């Protein structure tokens, strides 16, 4: 089903309110589409908007009817990152230092999120600063041919502290990460794909549709297995030591997977040559 004809929300559990920044829809079974909707500001994120996103990510991980999310933007930008006008205001001499944007109370933005469930970035346009940091931490990335990626913080006297720097090292290597972050110059979608940041580049009008195709295929699989397999990938990305990563996943997510109904259903369905009927994840 196309994103323009979304499925109704599949459970009675309401999502958190998103009054200022986000629009939520359900374009395929078990798939959540999150649209950053502040096009007049290139989907720049205020502090309030970042808290909205934090609550949605937490809800995604606890909502049993959902297996995966897609994030995209409205208009010509995916996201221009932090709202620099708000940040500038928070830096005034009489402002409370603890309330400055860079010193906000700890929360889990997408750029630092580990979470349980995968997120696909459908990058429709500009992905700059914090918006680019979001992309670097997504599990899979579909980009418009018009998309542009950049970390221009060094040109503004600040630094990309949202998690992208160590993740870029793991994805593209030290030299490319250094070029990208210290020069502050943007790169094209094609270059981002060549560097391994982007999985696929498509025409702009197809970017959400292609992301939904990826998400729908993933969501057909066991909810327990999706969480466990992603955890194994993430442990390898974060901890780097192969045996340590395997051991952590086996002792946690895989141990829980083996206690659930979905592993039994998957094996039984294979033996009976039929499509499995998954239950909500217990992980």
Q: Give the active site residue among 44, 49, 80, 82.
A: 82
**Does the annotation count 69 as an active-site position?**
no
What is the span of the domain harbouring residue 73?
22-219
pLDDT value, residue 105? 47
Are 159 and 233 within one domain? no
Q: Which of 73, 81, 129, 130 is catalytic?
A: 130
Query: Does residue 36 sit in the same domain as residue 107?
Result: yes
CA 15 → CA 56, 57, 87, 222, distances in Å?
7, 10, 28, 23
What is the reported pLDDT for 1? 41
Whether residue 67 sits in one domain with residue 124: yes
Question: Do 100 and 238 share a structural domain?
Answer: no
For residue 34, the tally of other CB atoms under 10 A from its CB is 25
Task: Please give the share of the chain, as a percent, with pLDDT higher than 70.
Answer: 86
- Residue 28 Cα distances to 40, 127, 213, angstroms: 28, 25, 9
179 as an active site residue: the answer is no
Q: Three-state DSSP class for 88? A: helix
- pLDDT class for 103, splitting at 50, 70, 90? very low
Of the residues 52, 133, 210, 253, only one is catalytic, namely: 133
Q: Comparing 47-51, 146-150, 264-268, which segment has the lowest mean pLDDT?
A: 47-51
Let me know whether 123 and 175 are in one domain.
Answer: yes
Taking only the tens place, the pLDDT of each residue in 135-193 is 999 999 999 999 999 999 999 888 888 889 999 999 999 999 999 999 999 999 999 99
Phi, psi angles (nearest 5°) of residue 184: 70, 15
Active site annotation includes 95: no
> What is the model's pLDDT at position 7?
60
To the query of whether residue 133 is one of the catalytic residues in this protein, the response is yes
Cα separations in angstroms, 191 against 17, 188, 240:
37, 5, 25
In a domain, 13, yes or no: no
- What tokens were used for 133? 């940091």
* Cα separations in angstroms, 227 against 1, 57, 136, 243: 24, 14, 19, 19
């Amino acid at each position: 089903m196309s994103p323009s004809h979304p499925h109704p929300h599949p459970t009675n559990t309401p999502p958190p309110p998103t009054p200022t920044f986000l629009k939520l829809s359900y374009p395929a079974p078990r798939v959540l589409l999150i649209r950053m909707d502040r096009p007049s500001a290139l989907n720049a994120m205020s502090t309030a908007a970042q808290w909205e996103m934090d609550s949605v990510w937490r809800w995604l991980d606890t909502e049993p009817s959902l297996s995966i999310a897609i994030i995209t933007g409205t208009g010509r930008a995916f996201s221009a990152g932090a709202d620099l006008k708000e940040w500038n205001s928070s830096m005034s001499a009489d402002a409370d230092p603890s309330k400055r944007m860079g010193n906000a109370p700890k929360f889990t933005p997408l750029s630092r999120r580990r979470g349980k469930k995968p997120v696909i970035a459908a990058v429709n346009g500009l992905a700059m600063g914090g918006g680019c940091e979001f992309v670097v931490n997504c599990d899979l990335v579909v980009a418009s041919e018009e998309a542009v990626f950049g970390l221009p913080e060094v040109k503004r006297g600040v630094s990309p502290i949202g998690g992208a720097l160590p993740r870029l090292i793991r994805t593209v290597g030290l030299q490319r990460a250094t070029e990208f972050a210290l020069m502050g110059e943007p790169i094209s979608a094609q270059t981002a794909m060549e560097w391994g940041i982007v999985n696929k580049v498509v025409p702009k009008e197809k970017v959400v549709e292609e992301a939904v195709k990826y998400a729908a295929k993933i969501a057909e699989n066991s909810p327990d297995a999706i969480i466990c397999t992603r955890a194994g990938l993430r442990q390898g990305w974060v901890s780097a030591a192969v045996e340590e990563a395997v051991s952590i996943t086996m002792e946690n997510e895989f141990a829980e997977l083996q206690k659930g109904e979905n592993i039994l259903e998957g094996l039984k369905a294979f033996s009976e040559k039929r499509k499995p009927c998954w239950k909500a994840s217990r992980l």
